[in-house]
Homo-oligomer: A and B are copies of this chain.
Amino acid sequence: MKYTNLIKNHTATINYANRGMELENDLNLTNTYYLDNDIAVIYKKPTPIKIVRVDFDYKKSATIREAYFKMPSTTDYNGLYKGKYIDFEAKEIKGRKSFPLANINNHQIKHIRNILKHGGIAFIIVKFSLLNKIFLLKGEDLITIIDTSKLKSIPLSTFESKGYLIKEAYMPRLDYIKIIDRIYLGG
């Protein structure tokens, strides 16, 4: 889908945005921009679903009639930039003071550890909706916090000191690749 179409869809989904989908929409727009402009190939993975019942109708395609959401075992986004494997999870939260670690499940933490161990680039993107601030925090820093503190949530101040602020713009909407360039690739 082209960027302009996504912009239209984005406008049509303002109600969704208010229900906590804004970060996801903005990242999808950004990734489409990267793809259209040959900058990076990064996608959101489909939502994992357990399908229980499917109706087949000879007139049209199959209809899923019973299915359930499954807990994701990996992060939501991955892809490729300048030959590097990129992997991240994105979360939007209402709180103003800290990011509760319960937002990222244990499988996802383990996945981030695996990515780092095998030489990939892993990070999280956290949006504090009410403050309208979006941060990128390196996977290495996330894991250090988890392993060395007993924190149940990461204070905003940690994002401000260790993280990287992603500024909102028109296109690309959230240029996180610029930060990847600077902090991982010395660009």
Contact = CB atoms under 8 A, between A and B. Distances in A.
Interface of A: 35, 38, 40-41, 43, 45-49, 51, 61-69, 73-74, 78-85, 87, 111, 114-115, 117-120
A34 to B, nearest CB: 10
Given A46-B45, A46-B46, A114-B35, A119 B61 contact: no
Residue of A38, A61, A83, A117 with highest tally of chain B CB at under 10 A:
A83
A86 to B, nearest CB: 8
A1 to B, nearest CB: 8
Contact of A68 (B62, B82, B84, B87): B62
A51 B48 CA distance: 12
A118 B40 contact: yes
Contacts of A51: 47
A74 to B, nearest CB: 6
Contact of A82 (B62, B65, B81, B119): B119
Nearest to A114: B41
A41 B117 CA distance: 10
Contacts of A83: 85, 118-120
Contacts of A73: 43
B81 A118 contact: yes
Given A46-B49, A49-B46, A83-B120, A115 B68 contact: no
A35 B118 CA distance: 11
